[in-house]
Chain A
Amino acid sequence: MAAPQVWGAAIEDSQTISLFTGEETADSSPPLPRPTSQIAENVTIVTSDDIARLNAHTLAEVLQTVPGIQLEFNLRTPSTFTFFALQGALNSTVLVLIDGIRQNDFDQNFAAPGLIPVQQIERIEIIKGAASGSWGSALGGVINIVTKSPNPDRPASGQVSATLGSRFTADTIGELSGTKDRFGYYLTAGHLRSDGLTPDTATNMNNLYGKLSYALPGSGTATLGVSHLTARPGLDEADTAAWGFVHDNNQNTRSYGFLKIQQPLGNKLRLDFQGYATNREDHTKYGGLNEEGAITFFNDYAVKDRTQGVNTSLSWGDRKKSLVTGIEYIHGHGSSRDQLSSDPAYYDRSWDSFAWYGNGSYSIGDLTVLPGVRFDHTGLSGDKPSYTLGLTYQLTEKTTLRAYAAQGFSLPMLLADTGIQKVRTVQGGVESGAVPYLWLKGTYFFNALRNNQSNGDGKATNQTRQGVEIEARSTPFFGLALSGGYTFLYAKDSDSGQRLQTNSNQTVPPHLVKLALNYDQLDLGLRGALTGNYVVWNAAPDYPTSSSGIWDLHLNWQLNPKNALSPELFFSAHNLFDGVQTTNTILYNNASRWYEGGARFKF
């Protein structure tokens, strides 16, 4: 999406140049939407500006706008549970990292995107396809979240924002950030609540995040961070009493802390060290009505895991040749049991995992070769080597060709260990700004999966998934810019040769379309986005899906655009045409049309 502040700054430069030379700067060529990426994988970047434009509350709302990603239940109440698929890869095979720390649980390898608030996010990097050569258990891809840094310009600055919407859906956020001499800090707190936009999805989520940084001698940085989140998002099955139960709510606690040190060691060598600890506890309660008609719980499934880990890496080199090598160690403990039952735990185990990795880049002229290897002693499911080989070729100043081959893996669920999941992937594509007023990216992908574990019954199958993804962005015209993405997927069972259908085991939509019309007139203080999402599920005959298009409108108005501290009002209308887009119309319908509005104050 656009970042018009750069244009504004360029205008300021034009004034300076005019003052010094007495001449106007004239640049007649139309600007390109963005520079081409020079890495081999298919990567999409989402920035904090994009997030602010969407008035998003959680990662789920952001992911829904990314080409190739599809939420299964679209958006119910913010923070509620949903599965998602990345080019047909189950969410359990997509590694989600915040500050370099794994957010997926070990029970089902699932990171709930509704439980990741976006207020502290600076940037999201979405790597589509196997990325085990760098990241380990990441068969389907990686969602790498980089958090905000202390404001280097001021000793104290911040922002408060408040949103109020349908069904008393309210999000209140405060941020403080600044730098004084060598010390920097970034602190944020947020509270999200709702009476529930769909039945029984009332929610209450609290988030605290803090980061302290210290500039070390020799251009190094030490950063200490903590994060704590609690949430009670309801589930959506209360009306299914005919089934004999009410599936009432979840309770989630997520905490982590880390110490990160980045220190240059001489000219071309840099040391990165990170130590961290995490704690996660999820309760899912099932209940029903007792004889007096009150809800009573039958089960309280408690899934807990704790990890302590160390990552350390050395980076050596420059753009022409570079090498990053590192080691990772995790000590983990996970357990799962029904706390309302005297049955033994489903599992209760500890493990130690180690990994070594090396990734390099080697450029000869316009060709760059990107090899990578990684060896994982998983501690849970044996040892696994992974490797990648990427190539990029700068065909012209505006066009880059890329190819990528990799072998990777994902861990099986602790809940149902069917052995390690494996993938071999090949991708090839082109990214270009050669067409006037357009930026285009096309990628072909082919994945051969072995022992691929399903979401539903946990069974393992062999599959091939291949397809094409096309992304486009236009140059703004009177502040309006169009962007879009289309993903075609053909997935089949490799053993039977049958085309796979979307059902409780997998989500394999053959057609996925994302559209966005963005508006930016920063001199008027106006920005906005109209986003659309359309999916064809190719559902199994007995599977209750619905695939209406979902359109959202987001408008932002900064009252006095000349003053950076001026308040900004915002308004969002979600699901404008009341569509239903879900893989389960019985249990998990998305929210119908709803509205919210609010204000942001910076200081």
Chain B
Amino acid sequence: MRRLFFLILALLLTAGPAAASEVLVVQSVRSPMYDDALKGFRSVCPAESRTIVLSDYVDAELARVIREEQPRLVLAVGDGALSALRKLRRPPTIALMALGLPHAPSSAENLTGVDLSAAPGQYLALLQKITARRIGIVHDPAKTGWYLKLARVAARQLGLELVVREVSNPRQTIGQLDSLKGAVDSLWLLPDTTAVTMETLEAYFLFSQRESIPLVSFSAAHLKLGALLALELDRADQGRQAGELALQVLQGASPARLEVASPRKVSIKVNDAIAKRLNYPAGLISSLSKK
């Protein structure tokens, strides 16, 4: 029996740490949008990983999985994953593809990540170029209050006026949009899941058409619905940015000291038909999309 004891002891001593690092990927749902971002993440951070897709399970038992896996880092992909993880005691966490990523990280949160939206300054610079001055926004302060705060600072610097209407549920959106009639010369669509839903989306484009004002969106999918411009983000590059943050955390950096990163690869997409209808000079529009 003593022989068996020492045999297991010897086996134990061979179990020293390996070179690979360990990441637990917690993904809210399966989506090609998330797959692109994860490809980018893995190209930069080739650490060993296990992936849990929350929508695959009735009860993903994340607390148990984290305890069993003992990952050194958790990558939260999507808002569902982020909110489930924030309730748990967990290792350092990087958030990706999440609108709810907090922008005032505290050391208790042990969290950083990459924004899902381009920085407000990039949108406003674009709006300035198309000679917008009074920019209409409908948003839910509980969801995008932090983003609007940054936008106000950037707008002041550029001499632009933001005309803001607040909503707390989607039913208020159409009424608040109507109240912008005659008060704005452009519309800026924010990725706000209260103010912009699949049900209310059409109302923004109808408003833009009726008022003959340009609409700038966060998604190129909206061009065919009537948006003039969209800032399209490179999902794979957002994943690479998360991978770079992950490498820093795995090398010992505290997430609380790593600022939330803004997406760095942004391309401008234009709906030429809308530009023509709104009488923008062809040269101005082509100069935007070349940038």
Contact = CB atoms under 8 A, between A and B. Distances in A.
B55 interface: yes
A325 to B, nearest CB: 9
Count class of interface residues, chain A: 35 or more
B275 to A, nearest CB: 20
B279 interface: no
Contacts of A215: 107-108
B68 A39 contact: yes
28 contacts: A2-B59, A3-B59, A6-B59, A6-B84, A7-B58, A9-B84, A10-B54, A10-B78, A12-B79, A19-B201, A22-B219, A22-B222, A34-B57, A35-B65, A37-B68, A38-B69, A122-B63, A123-B64, A152-B109, A179-B108, A267-B72, A268-B72, A315-B70, A318-B21, A320-B18, A321-B17, A360-B12, A373-B9
B4 A34 contact: no
Nearest to B4: A387
B15 A182 contact: no
Contacts of B191: 16, 19-20
B141 interface: no
List 3 tightest A-B contacts by C-beta distance, closest first. A9-B80, A360-B15, A22-B221
A11 B89 CA distance: 24
Contacts of B188: none
A127 to B, nearest CB: 12
B107 A37 contact: no
A12 B196 CA distance: 13
A14 interface: yes
Contacts of B20: 318, 320
B57 A9 contact: no
B63 A123 contact: yes
Interface of B: 1-2, 4-5, 8-9, 11-12, 14-18, 20-22, 28-34, 48, 50, 52, 54-61, 63-65, 67-72, 78-81, 83-84, 86, 89, 92, 97, 99, 106-110, 116, 191, 193, 196-198, 201, 218-219, 221-222, 225, 250-252, 254
Interface stretch (A25-33, A94-102, A463-471, A590-598): A25-33
Contacts of A184: 108
Contacts of B4: 387
A182 B193 CA distance: 31
B69 A35 contact: no
Nearest to A47: B63
B8 A389 contact: yes
Interface in A241-284: 264, 266-268
A322 interface: yes
Contact of A318 (B17, B109, B218): B17
Contacts of A267: 21, 72, 250-252
Given A13-B29, A35-B61, A373 B12 contact: yes
Given A9-B80, A12-B80, A39-B68, A34 B9 contact: no
Contacts, number: 230
B6 to A, nearest CB: 9
Given A47-B63, A317-B18, A407-B1, 12 more contacts: A9-B84, A16-B78, A19-B198, A38-B69, A150-B108, A179-B108, A320-B48, A321-B18, A369-B15, A371-B8, A371-B15, A475-B58
A13 B80 contact: yes
A32 B58 contact: yes
Interface string A317-347: 1111111000000000000000000000000
A19 B193 contact: yes
Contacts of A32: 56-58
B219 A316 contact: no
A525 B201 CA distance: 29
B70 A322 contact: yes
A369 B11 contact: yes
B190 to A, nearest CB: 10
A372 interface: yes
Contact of A6 (B17, B60, B68, B218): B60
A22 B28 CA distance: 18
B84 A5 contact: yes
